Amino acid sequence: MSNFKKMAVIALLMPLFAACSNAPSESTVEGLIEAQYEQANSIMDDAMANAGNDEMAKAMNGMMEGMMPKLERIENINCDSVEGDNTYMCTADITQTIAGNSRTNKTNFKVYQINDEWVLGD
Protein backbone atom coordinates (compact mmCIF):
# COMPACT_ATOMS: atom_id res chain seq x y z
CA MET A 1 0.00 0.00 0.00
CA SER A 2 1.44 3.36 -0.91
CA ASN A 3 2.11 6.01 1.70
CA PHE A 4 -0.65 8.17 0.23
CA LYS A 5 -3.22 5.37 0.63
CA LYS A 6 -2.07 4.67 4.20
CA MET A 7 -2.41 8.35 5.08
CA ALA A 8 -5.88 8.48 3.49
CA VAL A 9 -7.04 5.46 5.51
CA ILE A 10 -5.67 6.96 8.73
CA ALA A 11 -7.34 10.30 7.97
CA LEU A 12 -10.67 8.54 7.42
CA LEU A 13 -10.43 6.51 10.62
CA MET A 14 -9.30 9.31 12.94
CA PRO A 15 -12.80 10.78 13.49
CA LEU A 16 -14.09 7.33 14.43
CA PHE A 17 -11.41 6.87 17.07
CA ALA A 18 -11.98 10.39 18.39
CA ALA A 19 -15.74 9.84 18.66
CA CYS A 20 -15.25 6.59 20.56
CA SER A 21 -12.91 8.17 23.08
CA ASN A 22 -15.47 10.83 24.04
CA ALA A 23 -18.22 8.38 25.04
CA PRO A 24 -19.16 8.25 28.71
CA SER A 25 -17.42 5.52 30.68
CA GLU A 26 -19.34 2.50 31.93
CA SER A 27 -18.93 3.71 35.51
CA THR A 28 -20.35 7.12 34.56
CA VAL A 29 -23.42 5.57 32.91
CA GLU A 30 -23.87 3.19 35.84
CA GLY A 31 -23.69 6.13 38.26
CA LEU A 32 -26.34 8.05 36.28
CA ILE A 33 -28.72 5.09 36.37
CA GLU A 34 -28.12 4.51 40.10
CA ALA A 35 -28.75 8.20 40.79
CA GLN A 36 -32.09 8.01 38.94
CA TYR A 37 -33.22 5.10 41.14
CA GLU A 38 -32.02 6.91 44.27
CA GLN A 39 -33.94 10.04 43.28
CA ALA A 40 -37.15 8.04 42.72
CA ASN A 41 -36.74 6.34 46.10
CA SER A 42 -36.09 9.69 47.79
CA ILE A 43 -39.27 11.17 46.30
CA MET A 44 -41.24 8.15 47.51
CA ASP A 45 -39.68 8.36 50.99
CA ASP A 46 -40.62 12.05 51.22
CA ALA A 47 -44.18 11.34 50.11
CA MET A 48 -44.51 8.56 52.69
CA ALA A 49 -43.09 10.77 55.44
CA ASN A 50 -45.67 13.45 54.62
CA ALA A 51 -48.59 11.02 54.34
CA GLY A 52 -49.29 11.02 58.04
CA ASN A 53 -49.52 8.39 60.70
CA ASP A 54 -53.07 7.03 60.52
CA GLU A 55 -53.78 3.40 59.60
CA MET A 56 -54.78 4.18 55.99
CA ALA A 57 -51.55 6.13 55.39
CA LYS A 58 -49.48 3.27 56.85
CA ALA A 59 -51.25 0.73 54.64
CA MET A 60 -50.70 2.88 51.54
CA ASN A 61 -47.03 3.38 52.47
CA GLY A 62 -46.50 -0.37 52.75
CA MET A 63 -48.21 -1.03 49.45
CA MET A 64 -46.29 1.70 47.60
CA GLU A 65 -42.97 0.62 49.10
CA GLY A 66 -43.49 -2.90 47.70
CA MET A 67 -44.20 -1.51 44.24
CA MET A 68 -41.04 0.62 44.01
CA PRO A 69 -38.38 -0.96 41.79
CA LYS A 70 -35.10 -1.78 43.51
CA LEU A 71 -32.02 -1.75 41.30
CA GLU A 72 -30.09 -5.01 41.50
CA ARG A 73 -27.41 -4.66 38.81
CA ILE A 74 -26.44 -2.98 35.55
CA GLU A 75 -24.55 -4.96 32.91
CA ASN A 76 -23.49 -4.85 29.25
CA ILE A 77 -23.40 -1.06 28.91
CA ASN A 78 -22.81 0.10 25.35
CA CYS A 79 -22.98 3.69 24.03
CA ASP A 80 -22.82 4.89 20.42
CA SER A 81 -22.58 8.49 19.25
CA VAL A 82 -25.75 9.99 17.73
CA GLU A 83 -27.00 13.47 16.87
CA GLY A 84 -23.64 15.18 17.28
CA ASP A 85 -20.60 15.05 19.48
CA ASN A 86 -22.27 15.23 22.89
CA THR A 87 -25.16 12.77 22.55
CA TYR A 88 -24.97 9.01 22.89
CA MET A 89 -27.59 6.29 22.53
CA CYS A 90 -26.86 3.69 25.16
CA THR A 91 -28.15 0.25 26.01
CA ALA A 92 -27.77 -1.70 29.23
CA ASP A 93 -29.16 -4.84 30.81
CA ILE A 94 -30.84 -3.53 33.97
CA THR A 95 -31.99 -5.99 36.60
CA GLN A 96 -34.52 -4.70 39.10
CA THR A 97 -36.82 -6.24 41.69
CA ILE A 98 -40.45 -5.17 42.06
CA ALA A 99 -42.65 -6.76 44.72
CA GLY A 100 -40.14 -9.57 45.18
CA ASN A 101 -39.91 -10.41 41.47
CA SER A 102 -36.56 -9.93 39.74
CA ARG A 103 -36.45 -9.09 36.05
CA THR A 104 -33.73 -8.08 33.58
CA ASN A 105 -34.58 -5.81 30.64
CA LYS A 106 -32.40 -4.44 27.86
CA THR A 107 -33.00 -0.73 28.19
CA ASN A 108 -32.33 2.03 25.64
CA PHE A 109 -31.62 5.59 26.76
CA LYS A 110 -29.71 8.70 25.74
CA VAL A 111 -26.82 10.23 27.61
CA TYR A 112 -25.88 13.87 26.97
CA GLN A 113 -22.81 15.83 27.91
CA ILE A 114 -23.79 19.35 28.95
CA ASN A 115 -21.14 21.74 30.29
CA ASP A 116 -18.72 18.83 30.83
CA GLU A 117 -21.31 16.93 32.88
CA TRP A 118 -23.10 13.74 31.82
CA VAL A 119 -26.90 13.54 32.19
CA LEU A 120 -29.54 10.95 31.30
CA GLY A 121 -32.03 11.84 28.62
CA ASP A 122 -35.17 10.22 27.29
Q: Which residue has the higher pLDDT, 31 or 3?
A: 31
pLDDT of 19 > 70? The answer is no
Beta-bridged to residue 40, according to DSSP, are: none
Q: How many residues in total does the chain contain? A: 122
Compute how many other C-beta atoms are within 10 angstroms of the C-beta atom of residue 1. 7
The verdict on pTM exceeding 0.85 is no
b/e per residue, 73-107, with b = 16+ CB within 10 A? ebeebebebeeeeeebebebebebeeeeeeeeeee
Question: What tens digit of pLDDT does each residue of 54-84 get?
Answer: 777 667 777 777 788 999 999 999 999 987 7
What's the domain range around 102? 3-120
Count of structural domains, the chain: 1
Q: What is the CATH number of the domain that holds 93?
A: 3.10.450
Distance of alpha carbon 26 from alpha carbon 77, whole angstroms: 6
Give pLDDT, residue 32: 96
pLDDT of 16 > 80? The answer is no
